[in-house]
Structure 1
């Protein structure tokens, strides 16, 4: 066996927090001195406000940045003004210069943006040319003008009217991902943009260029509801691209978590892995094979070691050709099952391909490395995968339990007919852990209530009882 492995970990460098601190210090002066917006008065004698701070308030109180008096408003309107009527905030995201601007209504009698009432305690995104009114829609006082270009203008109208585009979150074979904010409520989402491929391949229209095929997939994907599957808000199909709006997971990718930690403690890996298995089991029950499972497609809710985990990008496998899906983030088919490689992505295969990928993912979580070696001069990466040429070096696995290693072996069995099934994975001794089930139940109960799995896909004791009715592992 070859004990050389590709290591996912990065060299020790300065702490990430200190990097961000240094970046923010460098940017602070620039942020303070730059005029990022203007409040242009509609009614005199309101005066123009050049906006350079991150927070501005308007109201009757003398402490407000814009103190409204009888000089600005007639007594009947002044009497219904609150001491602090509204607050405008510029908030930086993703540790970059990217920022969003939102108005928060703090009034008793209402603040209106473009004649729509915001409502006390509510927030709305502000964009250039938005009109701000006080107490009644007719009492217009300011137009907000942004001095920074907005990327929202490049969106199709149905998205442009609902979302403001913020920072870039990442990119991969399937497209670019950016953070977006709902203009009403300021809720954060992730938006993936998948550019379409031109022309016809093998005499057939590419799936991304077939509106009917895309919409059929959308109906299926939007109907999925499971606490460990990323919720899809909406998909908009245009001639040049497909825009997919998804729930945002602030903890980032499992791939980045492994890199930053070096490797995951077994008890922490087990919590994340169990949730991923639940998600894949649910997808298989719904007739969906992911085909592109890898740490980049497993998203985490927080930076905590014990966190909610969700599977993403499960719908793109039907919209992107199999050979493209074989490519991982770094350009290698590291997580692809042997049977896909053997047919160059053109043959038939079952949902057992996902189980193989789960084996590679668990190997990476526990060791901080992947099981195959791209630099091996004697055997290509594809041949290593097709023959199941991997090992468990003691330097990486000496502290890993035999149950975990056994599960990896059963998942990474070359013959898909002899490979453990997803249901059997859930019954494996490594996951027969009451504390694990209780921990995950708590995590899922704190998740979005809308993502409720069908009863036969739930976690905990009921789930275990359902599985016990099926044949056990031999």
Structure 2
């Protein structure tokens, strides 16, 4: 049973227009605000009280106020009665094109053209870098294709990092925070005792997203239950070997983001984004030139 019913009202402010989907932690609806128009509403499955909702969404609200074009804006938060009891919700800007998984699956082959994939990754890193540059850094902890929204501004791709509901500030001493997220996208160290999430862990998740965009495969089909298992498995196959359109230099950047050894991985989204931007600038238009020959 869904938490909200299409066509119902929440107070005199929101009308539930359409169910959009769900994840492990929430259901998503398209709603119409009485004055502000169409928005997206996430209803949290496990959080009930307003105090708990505010605590969970504290970092999301903080980041939304920065107004970065690659971060989803959060407008409102509160609680709503549902058949399962009171549940917390928050509203954010509605992106009609959907999430990155929708975008990826809309491609004929399932893999995204290399130039588009790099542009998506550069914008994803730009939004995530805002969180990582905070003092102390904020870790998203759940970067997946379902939490990245893709739309268009004047026919140009525009990417927004969404769902900061699991975001947490790292501890000042350790530079780490508790581990949460989607197992297939979690870094090896994030599995250790449940207390290993860091900006470098978000980088690993971006690397997993990049691999999926370029190859239509996850870097690892198995999800290790322990840090030991993750650290001792061989590196994934190079994206270049799975998709010849992927330049070896770009493949190296992706594999660098997926390094099990923290000392060899990009430390945060800004560093990864710089590497991707440098590659993008050096190879701008290469695909078009090759096609014209």
Give the TM-score, by structure 2 length. 0.77
Deviations 1:156-214 (A, max 9, x none): xxxx22221111111001210000012235x211000003358xxxxxxxx98636634
Aligned residue among 216, 220, 227 for 1:372: 220
8 A contact 1:358–1:411 mirrored in 2? yes
Selected match of 1:231 from 73, 76, 86: 73
- The partner residue of 1:290 within 140, 146, 155 is 140
User: Does the Cα contact within 8 Å between 1:352 and 1:419 map onto a contact in 2?
Assistant: yes
Indicate whether 1:425 and 2:276 are aligned: no
* 2:16 corresponding residue in structure 1: 165
Residue 189 of structure 1 corresponds to 39
The one of 200, 208, 211 aligned to 1:360? 208
> Paired residue for 1:213?
55
- In the other structure, the counterpart of 2:231 is 386
Distance 1:242 1:436 in 2: 46
C-alpha distance in structure 1 between counterparts of 2:27 and 2:41, whole Å: 8
Q: Residue by residue, what CA displacement relative to the aligned partner does 1:320-342 show, whole Å, maximum 9, x if unpaired?
A: x956x333xxxxx1111110113
> Per-residue deviation at 1:150?
3.2
Contact 2:6-2:16 within 8 A present in 1 as well: no
Q: Which residue among 130, 136, 151 is the counterpart of 2:8?
A: 151
What is the aligned partner in structure 1 of residue 151 from structure 2? Answer: 301
* C-alpha distance 423-218 of structure 1, shift in aligned 2 (>3 A): closer
- Two-structure CA RMSD over aligned residues (Å): 3.3
Report SS of the residue matched to 1:307. Answer: strand
**In 1, Cα distance between equivalents of 2:247 and 2:124:** 20
- Ranges in structure 1 where 5+ consecutive residues have no aligned partner: 1-147, 199-206, 328-332, 438-474
Aligned length: 263
When Rg is computed on C-alpha atoms for both structures, the one with the higher figure is 1
Superposed structure 1 runs of 4+ greater than 6 Å apart: none
Distance (Å, rounded) in 2 between the aligned partners of 1:394 and 1:149: 45
For 1:274-285, list aligned pairs within 5 A.
274-285=122-133
Q: CA deviation at 1:410?
A: 1.2
Per-residue Cα deviation, 1:72-110 (whole angstroms, up to 9, x for no partner): xxxxxxxxxxxxxxxxxxxxxxxxxxxxxxxxxxxxxxx
Give the number of the structure whose residues are more often helix, by fraction: 2
Assess if the C-alpha contact under 8 Å between 2:6 and 2:18 holds in 1.
no
* 1:249 equivalent in structure 2: 95
Deviation for aligned residue 1:265: 0.8
Cα distance in 1 between the residues matched to 2:282 and 2:237: 30
- CA distance in 1 between counterparts of 2:60 and 2:205 reads 25
- Answer 1 or 2: higher relative contact order, Cα 8 Å, separation at least 6: 2
Q: Would the aligned equivalents of 2:30 and 2:39 in 1 still touch at CA under 8 Å?
A: yes
Structure 2 gap segments, 5+ residues each: 170-176, 285-293
Alignment-derived partner of residue 290 in structure 2: none
Within-5 A mapping of 1:402-417: 402-417=248-263
Could you state the TM-score of these two structures normalised by the residue count of structure 1?
A: 0.50
1:259 maps to 105
Distance in 1 between the 2:153 and 2:60 partners?
A: 30
